Amino acid sequence: MSENYDVVVIGGGPAGYPAAIRAAQLGFKTACIDAWLNKDNTPAFGGTCLNAGCIPSKALLESSELFHRAQHEFEVHGIKAGKIALDLAAMQKRKDGICKQLTSGVKTLFTANKVTGLQGWGKLLGKGQVEFKSHDGKTTQTLTAKHIVIATGSEPINLKIAPLDGKNIVDSWGALDFSEVPKRLGIIGAGVIGVELGSVWQRLGSQVVILEALPTFLPMVDQQIAKDALRQFTKQGLDIRLGAKVLTGKASKSGVAVEYEAEGQKKTEEFDKLIVAVGRRPFTQNLGADAAGVKLDERGFVKIDKNYKTSAAGIYAVGDVTGGAMLAHKAIEEGVALAEQLAGQKTEVNYNAVPSIIYTTPEIAWVGKSEEQVKAEGIEYKTGAAPFAANGRAKALEQQVGSIKMIAHAKTGRILGIHMTGPYVSELAAEAVLAMEYGATTEDIALTMHSHPTLSESFHEAALAVEGHAIHIVNKPKK
């Protein structure tokens, strides 16, 4: 059985389903094949993000933050709630419900945009053909397409030294599904995933130890901001050990024994659960890349040019499977840009203005270059910063921690990077991205009125501080 399409997308995650929807909107006959299966073997569009990553983790982060605030902050606001109890099953049910709402929403969008959604495996056959095989193996068909898009995403990296057992040693997906709060929780990796998951379970009552092999905390973040965030996490009770190289992680009936090396000494820790959160790798399992002439690099990422073309004619790739920043919003923009390019439009993604967010408390957000990067590149620059301690809205929220740091070109004032830690900076990141997208200077921001009282006033103050013109904080003396 064979069917012809203009566009066939393999992968229904943040890169794939937007690419399919936009292609269909532009008049292409489009199909999207997705292989995702949840743990109960039910198929779902949306990939890792909607099913086992961005969305479920943010649901648990919000629930755990409310639980923590009810225990430790409500009385400061004059709210006496009595003894607070955790119903983890209800919390997990809420999380799962949110995921199902969003994944079913993708199916609705496919129907509305006339995208053919196929749940099962897609495999490249070469010569413009893709094999589709349903999960139960009962349906197999060959799809022919002028344009084939690889959007198969990524998967967690496993460690041979700490093999997953699905019970005591788990990856980031397994860490979202604990039915009980571990008394002692170990995490390998203090990156975005590690600190977010650590925050969830620490708030709910776990004693959390995060082991990070690198000597620097969040090296991709401006270090002034990263060090501030580390101080806050430490005060909250997260035990983040830098320069700690894990040697082995062995599961037993009672838990997990972890041996690691730090400061030239071997040390051992016992945990009830261990999360492996050391990053992600491209997912190209059973893709058929070799047969179709699609080249992969030494790490397994699909090689592409600036227009997402692979080494095989008529085959493209977008999202995590191509490398770079593994971010859902970047994948979405690439999928849409590719679809529009296939229709003859000149859409491009601005990779200099890709935001990154860590949804801890305080949150961390950044876009553009850090001070360390600017310095290394020999660019003349100047900086300004505004602490949330001086922000009225932050005080009202009882979250007057963190700051916003702005880095600008010394001569032109053009913004080179913005790094933030504090309350809801994930939302303030949009203004930062917009400023950089339009090539704004600090003067442009300084001349833009910001509502009072809002957290965004600190964004305004940081821009003013670059030139020593801040109003509500003391300006640093010019050197």
The catalytic residue positions are 452
- Name the nearest CA neighbour of 130 among 40, 422, 358, 121: 121
The two three-digit tokens of residue 183, written as one number: 């008394």
Cα separation of 32 and 148, whole Å?
10
Q: Are 375 and 401 in contact (CB under 8 A)?
A: no
Query: Sheet harboring 169-170: ordered strands across?
Result: 169-170, 273-276, 184-188, 207-212, 239-242
